[in-house]
Structure 1
């Protein structure tokens, strides 16, 4: 898909990967509807857009609010691309210790949020000459992370949702990209309202992370080149290969390195 002249909606546009995708799309000549639950973050993104801010329309939106999502879709029937980036992690505890309300929140934002947007915008996307949907999943969707089981489950559900819709739309002009990021330099813990004990330890500080800027560039490249699936970061690619070879080995490796965070 040629990015220039197209209109995209990006969730989580207020910071992290969502912000960087937004800025990269603007840089390549697209117009963007940037949505986020935090209006202050959206104002920061607008400032960073600089001269391109005239092509950015920001909306404070709770993606779990189906009525609000439907109303937004009714106002933007000429959308060419939907980029689902917004997501949260869970409190870093075992399922046995996780409050069910926290589990509901993770599923509602990470799975039902993208589904709400897809359901609202897909009828119009199907009428465009070409259109694209990109969903951001996680390395945790294929390699279990202790203390992030519900988060991983929400992203695993997003994996199959993406693959299923791709199959259903295989004879249409709507293309789909599924993204598996590894460790990315964002504030997802803080934005999720999650405090992770031990996250600043010497061991975790040595983890190699991919910058949000690089992640944003790779995602826009994937849309432009029609890539179906991409890994972001060597860690995501390595664990993807390992999990396909031996799920047990992948699980043991992650458990060994992260079990200290559970106490």
Structure 2
């Protein structure tokens, strides 16, 4: 879907990749409905938009609030007259703990934001997207959806759920005006740990190039414009995808060896 002249909803648009996506969409001539839990983040996105800000509307809300999400499509249409795309980007990580050391509140929060937030937004906007001549749905999953990371079991499970949901939607929406893209990012400089309230230690001996969100946004939106089914963001994501295809056990062992030290002793 060509993005010029389209209206695209972006969640998590107050920082990181979501903010970079909102700004890059505006540069490409799209209008953007920016969604984020933090209004101050949305105001920062608006400030960075500069003279492109008239094409931007701000929608502070919690994507786990079903009633608020259900009212959002009409709100976006009032602001822009239509909606042609949805990028489900908002997400959080879990504390770096083993599954049995996580409290129930942390488990439920990760699933509510990452999976149910994506699900609620998709169900709210999909009827509108199906009415457009062409439209696009983008779900941001994670490299952690196919390579398990010790200390991020619930996060990985939530993103794996997003991955399979997205692939199933691609199949279900064949023959409709809606195209679907699955995004699998690796390491990015997004501030996700800070906004999740989590301290994120570094893996020992890892020399992983960290992708800047502005670069990731351009790659992602190029993929949308060519209606790509799947896009891997970052050299680490591409490398681990290949390794996992060749040897799931080998890929899992590699990550375990690099990340196991992040967990406290049993």
TM-score interval, normalised by the smaller of the two chains = over 0.9
- SS of the residue aligned with 1:88? coil
1:125 is aligned to 129
Task: Give 1:74 deviation, angstroms.
Answer: 2.3
Q: Deviations over 1:209-257 (max 9, x none)?
A: 1111111111111111111101011110111111112111111000111
Higher mean C-alpha deviation, range 68-77 or range 159-168: 68-77
**Unaligned 5+ residue runs, structure 1?**
none
2:91 is aligned to 87
- SS of the residue aligned with 1:172? coil
1:9 is aligned to 9
**Alpha-carbon distance between aligned partners in 1 of 2:140 and 2:230, rounded to the nearest angstrom:** 10
**Alpha-carbon distance between aligned partners in 2 of 1:87 and 1:242, rounded to the nearest angstrom:** 25
Q: Is the 8 A contact 2:73 2:125 kept in 1?
A: yes
Q: What pairs up with 1:163-202 in 2 under 5 angstroms? A: 163-196=167-200, 198-199=201-202
- SS of the residue aligned with 1:184? coil
- SS of the residue aligned with 1:175? strand
1:25 is aligned to 25
TM-score (norm 2): 0.95
Task: Give 1:75 deviation, angstroms.
Answer: 2.7
1:155 is aligned to 159
Q: What's the RMSD between the two structures over aligned residues?
A: 1.1
- SS of the residue aligned with 1:210? coil
Q: What pairs up with 1:234-249 in 2 under 5 angstroms? A: 234-249=235-250
**How many residues are aligned here?**
260
Task: Give 1:195 deviation, angstroms.
Answer: 1.5
**Alpha-carbon distance between aligned partners in 1 of 2:76 and 2:107, rounded to the nearest angstrom:** 32
- SS of the residue aligned with 1:10? strand
Q: Deviations over 1:74-102 (max 9, x none)?
A: 23342100001100000000101111110
Q: Is 1:66 paired with 2:66?
A: yes
TM-score (norm 1): 0.96
